[in-house]
Homo-oligomer: A and B are copies of this chain.
């Protein structure tokens, strides 16, 4: 496992990569479980991912309370991260984003499903959470732990949960994996929209999804992708 310095360096790199690859714009964030304390997580202060550096990284407990804020303003929606990391011990990194291609799948009845092998890692089932079902009219933001726990209940044991009219939360066992899953989730949404207009679609079978899940991806492929993404985002690998 990465030590704290390496974890922070990768977390900063991941912020820049998510911006470079169009997963996030001014908004969206990524967290990682603290390498030395599974009940803590690391995430930037409230800043656009493209601009994040190491001095922006804050530490939070599982209630998403900052440990030592030093005057820094946390993200309003940090409760997404705390709630997921608390409930899912297998998850070590979480991305919240508003990727444009995902929005249509959150506001219609069309299930998002893996259409090509690179997106097998999103999992066979992508649930949609609607904050309005339990909380009525809101700003549609995950502003507290009640919101966060309700989101996690919909996520269940899946990898990705869409948020109606808002975006998604993506989970993975590592920073590298959560970045790749976020990127191919977006690509899959675009391709599925295109393919559906052309007729009946052959999706990945359950067996193909299982074999292409994050746990089964060839490690060398991930390392190759990480080198590529760091180069494009001009950060150290």
- Interface-forming stretch among A32-40, A45-53, A81-89, A146-154? A45-53
Complex interface: chain B residues within 8 A of A16 (CB): none
* Oligomer copy total: 4
Judging by beta carbons under 8 Å apart, are A47 and B116 in contact? Answer: no
Judging by beta carbons under 8 Å apart, are A139 and B108 in contact? Answer: no
For window 96-117 of A, CB contacts with B under 8 Å fall at 98, 100-101, 103-110, 115-117
Closest to A190 in B: B100
For window 184-237 of A, CB contacts with B under 8 Å fall at 187, 190-191, 193-205, 207-208, 210-212, 216, 218, 220-221, 224-225, 227-229, 231-232
Complex interface: chain B residues within 8 A of A194 (CB): 101, 103-104, 193
For window 41-75 of A, CB contacts with B under 8 Å fall at 46-48, 50-51, 73
CA distance A205 to B96 in the complex (A): 23
| B-binding residues in A (CB < 8 A) | 25-27, 46-48, 50-51, 73, 76, 98, 100-101, 103-110, 115-118, 120, 130, 132, 136-141, 164-167, 187, 190-191, 193-205, 207-208, 210-212, 216, 218, 220-221, 224-225, 227-229, 231-232
